[in-house]
Amino acid sequence: MAIGAGLCLLLSVLAVPACRRSDDGKVRITIWHQDRIEIRMMLQRQLDRFMQLHPEVKVEQLFKETEELRSGFIIAALAGQGPEIVYGPSDQVGPFEMMNIILPLEDLFQKDWLAGYDPRAVTWYKGHLYQVADKLGNHLTLVYNKKLVPVPPQTDEELIAVGKQLTADTNGDGKIDRYGLTWNYTEPFFFIPFMTGFGGWIMDDQGRPTLDSRGTIGGLEFIKRIRDVEKIIPNEADYNIADILFKDGNAGMIINGDWSWAGYLKAGLDIGVAPLPKITSTGLWCGTMVSPKGFSINVNVTETKKRWVLELIRFLMSEGSQLEATKELFTMPTCLAVQHGDFVRDNEILRNSQIQIDHGRPMPVVPELRAIWDAMRPSYQSVLAGTMTAEQAAREMQALALRRIKEMNE
């Protein structure tokens, strides 16, 4: 009796939040993204401004971690729901397109509007435009502590020389306390620069993996050399370890992406950003993957909302918005006017960032990319563990990649 009444009361209380979403007649647009906190805050400011200009629209942003963003969006969109806009790196376009959950955009944006943007910012796939990006990058760079490394190395030999100078046992306890270089080198994405430096790349134009190459072998051997022979990098370093070594001044240089610079500045480090070195034996610059981060539109968006969604995207992509973002976040803008503008030219970090982007190659958007990452990891780590030679690893990576791709596409 009493229990029954109590339960009824509880259920009615629970129903209240459900009706809290009052229908205030506004058009609701939701953006899902995976951006770090500084970008979220800036985005909120820009959204607030947009809503002031257009009081009949209410825009909300929702942060989801990268993997969850992808799987969450897939699940929601397949169920006919999901946010109107999904914002992220270009590699999400491949799977989204295959599942038919994002809209082709070429008829929705004017050609001359698109012309005002870096061609790398618009992602075409299978003949259609699927993403327009306001930021370009997501690329790795050489970040150095100016106190320890006054002049950044330009070539791999210089890198090793500087590294050796710095790597030392500073307090005489027999253990090395400071390394010349550190980075998350066990992760394939962070290995790519050395693969390209030795002339390799992960796939050809048809999306077929090309992992069994001199580039891969050269890169693997280089990393083994700087760890085991020159000993300028720690024995084991994942992202977090590398990060704190650098932050604590126990590493002179780190290879990290454009998302990390703000954190190092906030930690009080006097950092410089330089392009990754040139490999003397090949004469090639270490190129990284460059990816635009942009907007895609959910296929479930209603016609009434579409107009506002496009309006919002144009607003966030505008010159004013991009300049504001660039100044605060050090991300590379895609609006050509801002890219070639004074601020980017005068800012040391952004200048170097641009050089590295030019050395880089676009990240593939095909879904098979995941298979390739997955295939690279085991053999790569075996080489680091010493249980496989570089040549063997290159062959194994290629074989595994082909097999995974086959499994994905059956």
Point out which span in 14-22, 146-154, 210-218, 354-362 binds another protein (CB under 8 A): 14-22
Q: Does 23 bind another protein (CB under 8 A)?
A: no
Q: Tell me which residue of 270, 76, 94 sits closest to 85, measured CA to CA.
A: 76
Supply 180's token pair: 């010349």
**Nearer Cβ to another protein (153/180):** 180
- The minimum distance between CB 388 and another protein, in angstroms, equals 9
Q: Does 229 bind another protein (CB under 8 A)?
A: no
Q: Does 17 bind another protein (CB under 8 A)?
A: yes
- The minimum distance between CB 153 and another protein, in angstroms, equals 24
Residues numbered 298-357 forming contacts with another protein, rule: CB under 8 A: none
Cα separation values, 146 from 13, 96, 249, Å: 59, 42, 10
Q: Longest C-alpha distance within the chain, in Å?
A: 84
Pairing label, strands 289-297, 85-89: antiparallel
Q: How many of the other CB atoms lie within 10 Å of CB of 12?
A: 9
Supply 225's token pair: 């050399």
Q: How far apart are CA 266 and CA 270, in angstroms?
A: 10
Residues numbered 128-167 forming contacts with another protein, rule: CB under 8 A: none
Residues numbered 236-275 forming contacts with another protein, rule: CB under 8 A: 236, 238-241, 243-245, 247-248, 250, 256-257, 259-260, 263, 266-268
Specify burial of residue 92 (Cβ count, 10 A radius: 0-12, 13-18, 19+): buried
- The minimum distance between CB 365 and another protein, in angstroms, equals 14
Q: Does 22 bind another protein (CB under 8 A)?
A: no
Residues numbered 368-407 forming contacts with another protein, rule: CB under 8 A: 370-371, 374, 377-379, 381-382, 384-385, 400, 403-404, 407
Residues numbered 44-63 forming contacts with another protein, rule: CB under 8 A: 60, 62-63
- The minimum distance between CB 346 and another protein, in angstroms, equals 26
Residues numbered 73-132 forming contacts with another protein, rule: CB under 8 A: 74-76, 78-81, 95, 98-100
- The minimum distance between CB 54 and another protein, in angstroms, equals 21
Q: How far apart are CA 409 and CA 83, in angstroms?
A: 28
Q: Judged by CB under 8 A, which of 152, 153, 197, 234 binds another protein? A: 234
Q: Judged by CB under 8 A, which of 165, 170, 280, 409 binds another protein? A: 409
**Nearer Cβ to another protein (278/404):** 404
Q: How many of the other CB atoms lie within 10 Å of CB of 35?
A: 22
330: Cβ contacts below 8 Å, ≥ 6 apart: 258, 261, 262, 347, 349, 350, 353
Q: How far apart are CA 109 and CA 126, in angstroms?
A: 18
Point out which span in 70-78, 110-118, 222-230, 302-310 binds another protein (CB under 8 A): 70-78
Q: Tell me which residue of 190, 196, 199 sits closest to 237, measured CA to CA.
A: 190
Q: Does 228 bind another protein (CB under 8 A)?
A: no
